[in-house]
Amino acid sequence: MLSAPRRSPGVPNASGKLLLYTVSTYDFTSHSKTSQIRVLSIPDGHSHLVSEDASAYDPVWIGEEEIAYFKPNERGCTALMNQNVFQPAESAERIQFFAGSLANAKAKRLDNGSVYFCCSAPTTPKGELYWPAAEPKRHSSAKIYTSLFVRHWDTWASENENSLWFGKLTKRGGKWAFESPSLTNLLANTGLSSPIPPFGGTGDFDISKDGIVFVAKDPKLNPARYTKSDLYYIPFQNGAASKDKGPQMIKTQGLRGYSMSPVFSRDGKKVAFTRMKSDQYEADRPRLLVVTDISDLDSVEEFSESQETAQWRPDSVVWGKDDQMIVVAERHGRVSLWELSARSLKEGKSKTLFQEGSVSDAKFLGDSSTLLVTSRSRIENSCYSILNTQDGSVRELSSSSKRGKSFGLSRDQCSDLWYKGAAGYDVHALVMTPSNFDKSKTYPLAFLIHGGPQSAWMDDWSTRWNPAVFAEQGYVVVCPNPAGSTGYGQDHVDAITENWGGAPYGDLVNCFDLLEKEVSYVDTKNAVALGGSYGGYMINWIQGHDLGRKFKALVCHDGIFSTLNQWATEELFFTEHDFGGTLWDNREAYEKWDPASHTGKWQTPTLVIHSELDYRLPISEGLAMFNVLQARKVPSKLLMFPDENHWVLKPENSLVWHREVLNWINHFSGNAKDSALEAEFEKMHILRATGYHGTSPAVLDAITDLAARYLSLLCEKTAGHAVHNHGDAGDYTIVEVRLALQDLGAMLPEKSLAEQEWRGEEDLRGVEEFVQWFSGDRMREIMDFAKGDMESDEMDYLSALKKRHNKTDDGKFQGTILGKPADHENEIEIEGGGGELKTIEDWISKRTGRTKDEDDEVVGDMDLA
């Protein structure tokens, strides 16, 4: 999973015939990341490479066959590059060089062939691009603050803020260039900043031929205590921002919360966006709004909800022809597509178009009514589909994992569970079973608790909390969406306010009880529970209550030790809202749901994970948890990352995270003792160490057997050379092993003896290459994966693999050369130095039916002269 290619959403060109996307891959052997820009032909599905410059990022279309992208250098500068997608990467040309760090490119092609280009960049208080290399040398590291934010997400606040930079590209003499004065700061001297950190990007602004819209926080309010952000419009005059009119605020009566996802209609005359009502509630219901005439900024209409759409959580809008609106919205653990019309907003009518997995992006193909949909699911990390909005037909264009087959996953593993919550309402949970699931058997429960808390488990793909990872370890994975979860109506979201350990905990208890009493294939006696962020809070709350005694082990990632510490966070509006006020005004609410008040009951083994760059929940929370667990002599372990934030994102760290988490839960659930899936998991790791990222169980077994037969043939060739050279199959040296390796193609063939004598040197190319590989990082990683944590360094990896996993007669390797023989005559058992066949002599005796002593007698009677 971690080494599998990660593909961006697809972006079609103006005609809708080509699809632009990026692919990144991390190689755990070379410990390096590769990145590609690619283009896919929509008519035939063929994809080709445009650039494999790992530093290139943010590609956008600026012509029918031309793209622009950013390329940084080591001094903090950024080049804007241009390339024809059908020309080699070497043909890329630099449009302009900028002394600063540019990102979030967005382009709007005009009828005359010119292009409006907009991006974001850190900008100084003077309105200039921030360039670290130009900073004067400082002799102190001190930081002084007199207002909030002090720090946000994983970064200490500075005087430099995001701004939008705009320019017009024109092609002259076959080359693209900015019209004077190149990129200009649209927000200079306004006090506004966009995109909004820490997650704002291209979704925070949009361009039309007549102007630009963007969202920005209200500069008059404390950004740490209020969510209020407004939508602004800047009109263009003669291809540049109007100097007479600065940013104009679009007013929305009665709505003072987050404004998000502005997007122009195709003709640029309307704008759709979402806005929340409360200015301190980040999980308030997003209202869908439309500016029906951009020349009249007061012409704002709100979409009227129906009974069905009341459970929507709209995220963004895609405009079609004739005011057609496609809404991307979350509902019941999916992100789906819904159709409505800007002409009938107040009627609240909608039509469901697409409900497969979770949609991450959608774009119309040219002027057609056909959509390119990018989606993911629990088994699929990237799928491009063609959706006809007229008849609702869907055609798969490209699936990155072949509908899960590359990961050995299938849709049969995924299901949904509905049950009654603590207050009688319906609660939804996503369920995932192992790929070799057998309903007549039992599997330990992995109980996953999501963060947020106003969030939800989705039918989606993740490289951080992926249910498939736990399912393929042999667990039935259940992911409940209790009170506080989004996508089930605002009442369900609001039910957690000032109630953190109340209704959500009751919903989780009900879910566990249902699994324990009514689902026969779930082994709740060996259950484990895992959660991060608010999920980590709930792990600690569970630890101090009755449900905690139902689990064999717990995993708490970046959790909350004490709610009284929540004023150490950065986004204080969240804390104030969820606990009904400040710590000094409503201390009782903080104390009521404080996990630290129940530490006297903590006794379930717990893995604590926390990171130093997590400014949302500082690392002191994790240290306090671990201190209490250790003082109470509860089996516990602390995993700390000094270079990660609230999420573990770096591939090497993520690999450690997964190893530690899986080893922890497998140890306490007993899943590691006799799980055939663990053997499969280790074999998959060996394959991944050589560059593979996924396969099906049948293919994996075949590869295992082929590898073992290859080793058997290597033994046979070694023995043959030993007989030829020494007259004794057991009298082999490194020379015979080398010759056998050459026979089997593992080494380059030697030059002829005459050529070696003529050159006066022995040809050791093959030997050196093999030794380099055998002693290199890849072989070391293979051996590490295969040996595991409990094997000695002296044991070769096949022996370790055999010893670790073939512990019962029905082990994973039964019927292969690595394991117990199946019911076949003359099956050869090779265990790399262990078991019955410990040497080549044993193998020879097995094959010939004679002992070594008998062979010696025969050889002694032979005339070898």
Beta bridge partners of 429: 417, 480
Q: Tokens in use for 223?
A: 């950004």
Name which of 737, 735, 729 is nearest 858 in CA terms.
729
Burial 588-611 (b: 16+ CB within 10 A, else e): ebbebbbbbbbbeebebbbbbbbb
Q: Examine the residue annotation and report whether 597 is marked as an active-site residue of this protein.
A: no
Specify whether the CB–CB gap between 489 and 21 falls below 8 A. no
What letter represents residue 269's amino acid?
K
The predicted pLDDT at position 120 comes to 98
Establish whether 533 is a catalytic residue.
yes
DSSP secondary structure of 345-398: GGGT--EEEE-SSEEEEEEE-TTSSEEEEEEE-SS-S-EEEEEETTT--EEEEE
Compute the distance between CA of residue 383 and CA of residue 397 in angstroms, rounded to an integer.
8
Q: How many Å is the Cα radius of gyration of the chain? A: 31
Assign 591 to helix, strand or coil.
Answer: helix
Is 541:501 a contact under the CB 8 Å cutoff?
Answer: yes
Contact 301, 457 (CB under 8 A): no
Burial class (CB in 10 A: 0-12, 13-18, 19+), 760: exposed
| Rounded CA separation 284/434 (Å) | 36
User: Hey, how many other C-beta atoms are within 10 angstroms of the C-beta on 422?
Assistant: 18
End-to-end CA distance of the chain: 61
State residue 687's pLDDT score. 55
Residue 231 to residue 205: CA distance in whole angstroms: 9
Asked whether 168 and 179 are in contact (CB, 8 A), the reply is yes
What's the half-sphere exposure (Cβ side, CA atoms, 13 Å) at 572?
A: 17
Instruction: Please state, as a whole number, how many other Cβ atoms lie within 10 Å of the Cβ of residue 25.
Output: 17
Give the single-character DSSP code of 484. T
Where is 539: in which H helix or E strand? helix 534-543
Partnered with residue 337 across adjacent β-strands are 328, 354
Q: How far is 545 from 602, CA to CA, in rounded Å?
A: 8
Give the Cα-Cα-Cα angle 431, 434, 440 (nearest 5 degrees): 90
Alpha carbon distance 43, 56 (integer Å)? 27
Q: Assign 657 to helix, strand or coil.
A: helix
Q: What is the DSSP string of 194-208?
A: -SPTTT--GGGEEE-
Find where tokens 């959403």 sit: 9
* β strands within 468-511, DSSP E: 476-481
HEC profile of 506-526: HHHHHHHHHHHHHCCCEEEEE
Backbone φ, ψ for residue 416 (5° rounding): -125, 150
**Long-range residue pairs from 199-202, CB within 8 A, at least 24 positions apart, any chain:** 200/162, 201/103, 201/104, 201/120, 202/104, 202/105, 202/106
CB of 249 within 8 A of CB of 192?
no
Q: Is 261 a residue of the active site?
A: no
Rounded to the nearest 10°, the torsion over CA 364, 370, 374, 376 is 150
Selection from 316, 315, 320 nearest residue 365 by Cα:
320
313 contacts 327 by C-beta, under 8 angstroms:
no
Tokens of 741: 């390796």
- The token pair that represents 713 in the structure block: 């043939």
Number of residues that make up the chain:
865
Amino acid symbol at 618: P
- Within 10 angstroms of residue 177's Cβ, the number of other Cβ atoms is 16
Count CA within 13 A, CB hemisphere, residue 412. Answer: 10
Calculate the CA 69 to chain-centre distance.
Answer: 23
Q: Which of 428, 492, 610, 646 is catalytic?
A: 646
Partners of 7 in beta bridges? 23
Dihedral of CA atoms 174, 177, 179, 181 in degrees, nearest 10, equals -160
Q: What is the pLDDT of residue 783?
A: 60
What is the model's pLDDT at position 544? 98
Separation of alpha carbons 687 and 706, rounded Å: 13
Paired strand residues for 156: 151
CATH class of 410-670: alpha beta
* Amino acid at site 193: S
Record the pTM. 0.80
How open is the CA angle 527-665-794, to the nearest 5 degrees? 145
Q: Are 477 and 521 in contact (CB under 8 A)?
A: no
- Choosing from 533, 562, 669, 845, which is the catalytic residue? 533
Burial class (CB in 10 A: 0-12, 13-18, 19+), 136: exposed
CA 568 to chain CA centroid, nearest Å: 28
What are the boundaries of each domain within the chain?
410-670, 697-861
DSSP classification of residue 129: B
| Amino acid identity at 645 | N
Taking alpha carbons only, the member of 665, 607, 682 closest to residue 444 is 665
Contact yes or no for 596/624 (Cβ under 8 A): yes
| Mean pLDDT per 10-residue section of the chain, whose length is 865 residues | 93 98 94 96 96 97 98 94 97 97 98 97 97 94 98 98 98 94 95 98 98 98 98 92 87 96 97 98 96 95 82 94 94 96 75 95 97 98 97 95 92 98 96 97 98 98 97 97 97 98 98 98 98 98 98 98 98 98 98 98 98 98 98 98 98 97 97 52 51 57 72 78 70 77 72 71 73 70 49 42 42 38 38 49 55 44 33
**For residues 558 and 618, is the Cβ–Cβ distance under 8 A?**
no
Pick the catalytic residue: 523, 594, 614, 855? Answer: 614
Query: What pLDDT is stored for residue 66 in this prediction?
Result: 98
Bridge partners (DSSP) of residue 118 are 106, 166
The Cα–Cα gap between 591 and 588 comes to 5
Q: How does DSSP classify residue 650?
A: S
> Cα–chain-centroid distance for residue 38?
20
Query: What are the CA-CA distances from residue 462 to residues 6, 364, 378, 445 (Å)?
Result: 10, 26, 8, 20
Helix, strand, coil shares of the chain as percentages rounded to 5?
30, 30, 45
